[in-house]
Amino acid sequence: MIFIKNKPQKSSTNSFSSNQCSRLRKYVTIKRAFQHFFAIAIIFACEVLEGANIIGNYRTAIIKSDKWKNEEHRQIALSAVTKWALIAAAGAVAVVVAVAIPLGLLSQELDERVVEIIEGVSKVVAAVCILQLTLKIPVWLDLY
């Protein structure tokens, strides 16, 4: 009997060089960063649209209200809504920047579940803030 040794077969899996692995890691990291960026951009756009809708409703309420029959008082009220909306927007941007920079530096590698929890909590906080504005601004303007 003749025994023939089997030649070792080459592995069917591709072996990557360290340079290829590092490029692949960079690609995956960049892809995740863009996914998070676009998710945050979409949330931001939705919140801006919702805020603009609320401000538009307040301006419409001022214009249609019988409380301000004098055009001068109506213009003062409309300018007050615009002024405080801009101040609130600037404050919101300042808070976002003040929170985003330390979080970005401290959380380089976040688990996807943690990201989803943070997004959910931020939506709840945004909803509570909008609820507070919706309840308080008409009282401040003496609409009811």
Q: What is the pLDDT of residues 63-119, one digit of tens each?
A: 888 887 788 988 988 899 889 888 888 888 888 888 877 877 776 677 778 778 888
- Residue 131, pLDDT score: 81
Q: Within a domain: residue 95?
A: yes
Question: Tokens 């688990």 map to which residue?
Answer: 111
Q: Domain total for the chain?
A: 1
> Residue 78's domain spans which residues?
22-140
Residues in the chain: 144
Q: Within a domain: residue 16?
A: no
DSSP code at position 67: S
Q: Within a domain: residue 32?
A: yes
Q: How much is the pTM?
A: 0.49
Q: Within a domain: residue 127?
A: yes
Q: Within a domain: residue 13?
A: no
Distance CA 67, CA 144 (A): 10
Task: Answer yes or no: is pLDDT of 54 > 80.
Answer: yes
Distance CA 80, CA 59 (A): 10
Q: Within a domain: residue 9?
A: no
